[in-house]
């Protein structure tokens, strides 16, 4: 998958996430170009997530919706909605 060079740190992060997406090889990914169209839920809480066997303290999490098309055994295509979870890990700072 050829990706253009990002123009800002925000675009670089978006490109990294896009490249890590297991569904990104699909030409049917639906990516909004307007951030106002992105469905994002935010939760502020003290929680712990386990990542690669290590406990991570998470103070805030975002749940970002994305949609891709899938084909069933009969050949019918339908949209599937999934979510990207982003956890802001850190100590007990502000």
DSSP state of 6: P
Structure tokens at 93: 């700072």
Is residue 48 one of the residues assigned to a domain? yes
Terminal Cα-to-Cα distance of the chain (whole angstroms) = 39
**How far is residue 45's CA from residue 83's CA, in Å, rounded to a whole number?**
19
* pLDDT at site 52: 94
| Count of other CB atoms within 10 angstroms of residue 26 | 13
Predicted local confidence at residue 29, as pLDDT: 66
Does residue 11 fall inside a structural domain? Answer: no
Q: What is the model's pLDDT at position 1? A: 47
For residue 83, give its domain range: 28-89
Q: Number of folded domains in the chain? A: 1
**pLDDT by residue (tens digit) across 18-40?**
778 777 665 666 666 777 878 89
Weakest-pLDDT range from 31-35, 41-45, 82-86: 31-35
CA distances from 41 to 6, 26, 60, 61 (A): 26, 25, 11, 8
Q: Is residue 13 part of a domain?
A: no
Q: pLDDT digits over 50-79, tens only?
A: 999 999 999 999 999 888 888 889 999 888
Residue 17 resides in a domain: no
Q: Is residue 20 part of a domain?
A: no
Question: Would you say residue 69 lies in a domain?
Answer: yes
């Amino acid at each position: 998958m050829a990706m253009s060079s990002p123009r800002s740190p925000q675009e670089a992060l978006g490109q990294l996430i896009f490249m890590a997406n297991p569904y990104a090889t699909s030409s049917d990914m639906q990516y909004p170009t307007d951030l106002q169209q992105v469905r994002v839920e935010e939760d502020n809480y003290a929680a712990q997530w386990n990542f690669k066997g290590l406990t991570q303290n998470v103070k805030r999490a975002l749940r970002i919706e994305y949609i891709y098309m899938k084909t069933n055994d009969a050949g019918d295509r339908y949209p599937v909605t999934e979510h990207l979870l982003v956890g802001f890990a850190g100590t007990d700072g502000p």
